[in-house]
Each structure stands twice: as structure tokens, then as C-alpha cells.
Structure 1
Amino acid sequence: MPMFCLDSPRIDRNARRAIAGLGLILLLAACSGTSEPPYVERPVEDLYNNAMDAVAAGEWEAAAYGFDEVERQHPYSVWATKAQLMAAYAYYQNNKYVEAISACERFLQLHPGNKDAAYAYYLIAVSYYEQITDVGRDQKITQQALNALEEVVRRYPTSEYARDARLKIDLTRNHLAGKEMTIGRYYLRQGQYIAAINRFKTVIEKFQTTMHVPEALHRLAEAYMSLGVIDEAQNVAAVLGYNYPGSEWYVDTYTLVTGQEVPTASKPAEKKSWLGRAWNSIF
């Protein structure tokens, strides 16, 4: 059916006035004659069970609303405590991470000694963790995820949540190191060697267990060579060779610093090569 509006050319001026006047009368009548519906309290068991049914059906928005309603209507019941954490879980499942974190923090403020506190801390951590974006973006969320994951391990080191948190900590630290490397490479390409050195040192000093360390050492040696600080470049190359002797980054670094290929049993290093002597003394 075609829809009409007051601006339609099929309705003349008098008709427009009549419709507008009728609308105003109906609006005034509605404002003066209606009121909010009375509050109706429902049994706590019904509210909670209905919310759990929504969870089973994967209806996360309805579940979160239902659990919140349990707390609103029965704030002092034992079900309210359970509902607070279940609401946080429903928000998390619905990818509403801000609401999930807020609900967990409120739960912990009200019930710091609750037996489910470990799960609340863990849910906060994974809510941050699942918001981590690529290394080209701001890493505030990544740092918040790392802090929250470390809090889980610190508070509950033997829990099942701590085991998973430790795995996520490694991935999160690797992500933060990757961000530092991205910035360091940019500075290196721009010829801003001091700024690049600072970034690569951060990776080496703060993220020693990540996959980015061998490259960070190579880039650090590259920056020192560009500045003409040969001794520092040699020291970095020696550290790289000692810790990552089979790494392709060491092969590139050795060639960069010495102008030679990495020595092998069939092709020993020249005696005049400082780095070659360091290699032989280590291996």
C-alpha cells in the first residue's frame, strides 16, 4: 500500500491542517491520560530460570537482561550474586566487552571473597584480550589485557584460569613486541637511528621471550653500523650469535658487521675478524 505524508502533493492544504490538528489532540490526550505501568515483582526463580533458558538458546541479549532483572528485583537474594556474574558472561558472549568488564568489576567490588572471583578476574582479562587489534593500531587495549592476565596469574597461580592466562600472556607480549618492532623499523627507514635503537632495546629488554628478539638484535646492529659505532654493532652480533646461532638474523648480522659469510667447519673465519674469534670461542 502506498504511504502518504503531510508533504504529499495528493493531500490539499485543508486536509493537511486537519491531520495535523488531529495529531496534536491525540498527543495531548496521550500525555495527560497515560502513566507508567505499575511495577510487578516476579519470583526470583522464574527470572533466573528464564535467563538460563536464554543462555541455553544462545540468546545473549535476553539472557543479560534477565540476569540484570534478577538483581534489580531481588538485590539481596543469593540468586542476585550468581546473576551478576552470569550477566557478565552473557555480555561477553554477545561481544559487549565493556559491559562484561563493568559487570565483573562490580561483582568483585561487592563480593571480593566469593568463590567465583577467580572467574571474574579471568573474564575481565579475556574481554580485554579479545579486543586486541593488529600491531598497526594503538596498543592500549593490549596492555590492559596483559595487566589483567598477569593479575589472574598473580592471584590464582594454580587455577585452571591461570594456565590459560599464561598462554595468552605469551601471545600478548609478542603482540606488544611486534608493535615496538613496527615503530623501530619505521625509524630505521627514516634514518632516525637513535629512536630506532631505543625501540629495539625495549624489545630486547622487556620482551626477551618473544619471537621478535632475534630480529631486534639484528636491527640494533644495523642501526649501530649506520651510525658508525662498530664496536657496539659487534657486541650485538656476538650476543645474537650466542643466543640464536642458527637464526637467519645472525647470518645476516654477521655478514653486515664483518663483510664475510658465517664461518663453518670447512670455511673457518679469518684470524683478523673479531667477530669470527668470538664465534669460535663460543662454539
Structure 2
Amino acid sequence: MRPLKLLVTLVLFSLLSACSWFGGDEKVAPDVPEQQLYDEALSALEADNYELAVEKLQLLEARYPFGRYSEQAQLELIYAYFRNYEPESASAAADRFIRLHPNHDNIDYAYYLKGLTAFEQDRSFLEKYLPIDVSQRDPGAALESFESFSTLLNRYPDSEYAPDAQKRMQYLKNRLAAHEIHVAAYYMKREAWVAAANRGRYVVENLQETPAVPDALAIMAEAYTELGMHDLANNSREVLQLNYPEYEVRPFKQRSATLLQTATFGLLGGEPPAEPARPVPLADRQRADAQSRASDEKAEQEERSWFSRMTFGVFDDEEESAPAE
């Protein structure tokens, strides 16, 4: 019995000291000076090594919470999280900085980074390269980004980040309006007239100057007609015709299936409901403007007289200065 107790005691001592066999007795690295940690973090940021930058900035904030670089390190940490594709951490770090330093000189930068983080979070990788309809996606991140940029513009209109934030807000505004119309069109197909009319009215009242406004007015006119509110329907229709005379009005509600449509499982014999407008990307708008300018220049060249073309424009000035008969 006694040898057994001795054996158990030896085993326990062996287990307790096992950590020392695998390097558990290694010495803890000494504290790195604050200046050195900050310089190493900046060097990592300049080298695009954002993972290392996050590590250094976290260590700097933990060891020197009241140091001379503490506040700046918190700002740099937001940016490092953003560039390291950690949107949740970046947003949390921005909220923490805004809460702890509401009167900081660079508080506008924190709002801008928070909005930019949500903006990039809303845009998927495939959306940048494929024509994906973003109006069908949850607009939570887009709404958060819009609110951050809006706070930045309202509180700090002279900020150097305000112009870029304003451009991004216009895109987000189109994105949110398109989503509202997508939901309204869904309600129209399900004959939920009140819900559809409310969505359209929200777009008209809060998201003006977006491509979705004519769709919103058309939905309001059609929904109010179905509800028997003819005065509101006529008002919506008049506003639509006055401001968008070229808009092609098509019904958004789901029409009753015809016999041919039923026999062909909806492939033939029916006109599909109207589709809501979608936000046009900036690159597509610039490309369309360039094509329009090129077409105008070509048309102007074709309108030149035969004499001007034959003489390669040499006598254009004389021809313009000649008095009309």
C-alpha cells in the first residue's frame, strides 16, 4: 500500500511540473517602450501589413492606456481593422473612440471610417464585378453607413472627408430608395395596397432626387386607386405626369392569369408586372455620359455643309460671317 502512495505522489509531481518540460518556464518579454511600439505600428501600416499593425496597436493601447500616443493609436486601430477586413471590430473601435473622445480634433475621421466600413460591408465582392441587383439585399449596412456619413456632414460640414462622404451618400440614397420600391412592388403583387402606398410615399417624402421616385409615384397612384382613394391617386398621377412626362406607366400588381398563360405555365399570354428602377453605378453613368457626348459630336460633324466637308473646313469662318440673304 505504501509503494502505491509513493507512486501516486510521484505522478502528481510529474504532472504539475510538466509545463516546465515544454517551455512553460520561458521568460516573459520585457515591456517595449511606447515610442518603439508606435513606430513599429506605423511601419506595419506603411508596409500594408495590417495584421501586424493591429497586433502592435492593441499592445500599445493595453500597456500604455494613458500614454502620449493612446488616442492616436485608437484612431489608427480603426483604420487597421478596416484594412484588415474586420468590419465588426472597426465599427466597435470607432464607436468606442467617439464615446471616449467626443471633442477630439479628428472625431470627423472616426465618423468617416465608421461610415466607410459599413459602406464596404454592404458591397459584396461579386457586386464590384457582376451586375447584381442590390435592391433585393438587406439594406442594414447601407443604412448604417448613410447615418454615419449624415452625422459627419451635419456636425462637421467643413471636414476634409465631407465631399467624399456626400458622394457616397448619394449612391446609398439611390440604393435605399431602390430597396423600398422593390418591397413596394412585392406588396403590389400580393395586393397589400396600404403597405405598398406607404412605401411609395416614404420614397417621395424622404428619398427625393433618386431614380426610384417615378416608380414610387406610380405605385402610389395604382395602390390608392385600388383602395378607392381617388383624390390621392389623381394627385400622385398628376405629379408623376408633370415631373416625369416620359415615364411609361405600367401596372405593378399581378394580373389575373389568362388561359394561354395558364397552359404555358406563365411563359406566354401575359404581360409581366412593372419592374422597379435600380440604382445606376457611377461608372455606368460616366460611360453613358461619354457615349452621349461622342454621339453629339458625331451628329454635329454630320450636320456640316457639303462645301465645308469638301474644303476641310477652311472657309468655315467666312461662311459663318456671311450675312443671311
- CA distance in 1 between partners of 2:15 and 2:199 (Å): 65
Report matched runs for 1:163-174 at 5 Å.
163-174=163-174
Query: Is the CA contact 1:184–1:197 (under 8 Å) kept in the aligned structure 2?
Result: yes
Instruction: Name the counterpart of 1:157.
Output: 157
The change in CA–CA distance for 1:226 and 1:113 in structure 2 (over 3 A counts) is closer
Instruction: Name the counterpart of 2:256.
Output: none
TM-score by length of 2: 0.64
Q: Deviations over 1:45-100 (max 9, x none)?
A: 22112112211221111111111212222222212222111111110111211111
- CA distance in 2 between partners of 1:26 and 1:223 (Å): 80
The change in CA–CA distance for 1:31 and 1:179 in structure 2 (over 3 A counts) is same
Report matched runs for 1:106-255 at 5 Å.
106-132=96-122, 134-245=134-245, 247-249=246-248
Larger relative contact order, structure 1 or 2 (CA cutoff 8 Å, min sep 6): 2
**Identity value in percent:** 36
- CA distance in 2 between partners of 1:65 and 1:161 (Å): 27
Gaps of 5+ in 1: 1-23, 254-283
Query: Is the CA contact 1:64–1:88 (under 8 Å) kept in the aligned structure 2?
Result: no
SS of equivalent residue, structure 2 residue 69: helix
- CA distance in 2 between partners of 1:205 and 1:110 (Å): 36
Q: Deviations over 1:127-173 (max 9, x none)?
A: 12222253323333222222111110111101121222222222222
SS of equivalent residue, structure 2 residue 163: helix
- CA distance in 2 between partners of 1:64 and 1:224 (Å): 55
Gaps of 5+ in 2: 1-11, 124-133, 252-325
Instruction: Name the counterpart of 2:79.
Output: 89
Query: By how many angstroms is 1:28 displaced?
Result: 4.9
Instruction: Name the counterpart of 1:45.
Output: 35
TM-score by length of 1: 0.72
Instruction: Name the counterpart of 2:18.
Output: 30
- CA distance in 2 between partners of 1:35 and 1:108 (Å): 42
The change in CA–CA distance for 1:75 and 1:243 in structure 2 (over 3 A counts) is same
- CA distance in 2 between partners of 1:248 and 1:66 (Å): 57
Structure 1: which amino acid aligns with 2:18? Answer: A
The change in CA–CA distance for 1:26 and 1:165 in structure 2 (over 3 A counts) is farther
- CA distance in 1 between partners of 2:224 and 2:94 (Å): 48
Instruction: Name the counterpart of 1:67.
Output: 57
